[in-house]
A and B are shown apart, each in its own frame.
Chain A
Amino acid sequence: GNSVTQMEGPVTLSEEAFLTINCTYTATGYPSLFWYVQYPGEGLQLLLKATKADDKGSNKGFEATYRKETTSFHLEKGSVQVSDSAVYFCALSRNTGNQFYFGTGTSLTVIP
């Protein structure tokens, strides 16, 4: 089946610290991989995506590389800001699919 496992939270970091949120997946075929972010009281916003192996998605200083050999799509940012405090969701969709399979979400709090 299709599923996503991401690291448990909550994660608390100081401003300018390095961020890694781990995400691994199980999928039939060749999925596309996504990171979504949810700010308090809001819906999900697409942060970045990668559609094939070795692709790197990047946006707003965040990066994630599609690693087929380790079935992973870890999210990284070199220097977090207070404004990055949110819940981050890793997700996959199958190549011909129209639905997402989401991880459980990782809450990030960045303190000044």
Chain B
Amino acid sequence: KAGVTQTPRYLIKTRGQQVTLSCSPISGHRSVSWYQQTPGQGLQFLFEYFSETQRNKGNFPGRFSGRQFSNSRSEMNVSTLELGDSALYLCASSLRTDANYGYTFGSGTRLTVV
């Protein structure tokens, strides 16, 4: 079966712009989580959605937002981009909103802010 699909794979944006990243979970998965991976901070939790509702949010500024659609696809948006937002953004999906149940990660979107 298809895995978690993230688009685009690579993105270059200018400081001050905004960006939208997309994640298509495994078919039937209703929970989608987002993580930011940087060399300095490692992997940090952004937010988690289940059945179109945000269930949990990490410690990121309000410039980072997300949503989930009725087909479980999710998008995250970063407004007013800063150089420090350059990172690999990973999406993960699961059948349930429970980390113990097992999450499958996508290959990520590499965002570079110049």
Contacts and interface: CB of A to CB of B under 8 A. Distances in A.
Contacts of B58: 99
A89 B43 contact: yes
B43 A43 contact: no
Contact of B33 (A42, A95, A99): A99
Interface in B68-114: 90, 92, 97-100, 102-108
A57 interface: no
Interface string B47-66: 01010000110100000000
Given A43-B106, A43-B108, A99 B45 contact: yes
A85 B59 CA distance: 32
Nearest to B55: A98
A44 B97 contact: no
A77 to B, nearest CB: 22
Interface string A33-54: 0001000011111100101000
5 contacts: A46-B102, A46-B103, A93-B99, A98-B48, A98-B98
